[in-house]
Structure 1
Amino acid sequence: MQCPFCQHASNRVLESRSAEAGRSIRRRRQCLKCECRFTTYERIEYVPVTVIKRNSSRELFNRSKLLRGIVRACEKTGLDAAKLETLVDNIEMELQQRSTREITSADIGELVLQQLRSLNEVAYVRFASVYRQFTGIRDFADTLTHLQESEEKVGSPPYVSNGNRPSSTLTV
């Protein structure tokens, strides 16, 4: 590891610790020549995943782009940033574990919807409206009906919107 100040190749590690929720190692180093201190990070190098978009173009998977879309869907829902980071971590880990290095944007959208469904229904519907390109109120109504029917099948209690009482039954 070269010193970023004098480019000398010898240095010593002063401190090592886990960083980024255990996904990397942070090391504080000191150059043996100029004695300047600097920080390095050791991370697993992932094989790049290519996303096939709706228009058939291809681009590398961009974690920050995915997080940005999820954050927008979750605005004013009360979900904290740590939960959203964890959600993106889970999706990225699942993509890395797949045998194929190419995935469609539709598959990524479905992974996001699966994760958002259990976190927040409002965020789920917001994300679905953009991802599934809703064109009118009927699309929203169909999604809400599907969401309510699947909740009833599982037998979970009605979604509590204000913390005090169950939300009213959806009528379309």
Structure 2
Amino acid sequence: MKKLILASGSPRRKELLEQVNLTFEIIVSDIEEVMNEKDTPANIVQSLAQQKAKDVFSKNKDCVVIGADTIVAIGDRRLGKPKSKEEAVEMLQLLSGNTHSVFTGVAIETLEKSITFYEETKVMFWNLTKKDIDTYIQSGEPFDKAGAYGIQGFGAMLVKKIDGDYFNVVGLPISRTIRELSRFQ
């Protein structure tokens, strides 16, 4: 297979690709992300993943490039990474006792072909107390994660159950990604 590039600076995506013994390089896309706010979360994450993959691929035409993007959605609201403690608290209060969806879009680009897909996982939170939220905020974990939590870390204590791919919630549906990559050999 050609050299593989991950067009993401996410440490979680890096860990997931390492977990399945892939050899790859990281080149973070620096494009300004453009999205249609009226679009569905599934279409938004696929579009953003594709923008990142195409940007990195445009400078690495002899490689296989993976781009990815994740959004947390509850009802009509889309939750990105919180910009402040107050925004993190608000997000966690919104998720408390409710079920939300985590969408991750993945794009794979080569000279010969490209594919884009997404996965959706439903996540149900426990009813969180003020102390639960304050303790979690104090951990510092919420600030670089969509929806203000990381299921793979201390944030696991917030989650009552999931329906779908656990790794999708972490940031990359790794099993599906590997299967799609196999079509590029």
Interval containing the TM-score (normalised by the shorter chain): under 0.3
Looking at both structures, which has the greater relative contact order when contacts are Cα pairs under 8 Å and sequence separation is at least 6? 2
More strand by share: 2
Compute the TM-score of the two structures, normalised by the length of structure 2.
0.25
Compute the TM-score of the two structures, normalised by the length of structure 1.
0.26
Max radius of gyration: which structure?
A: 1
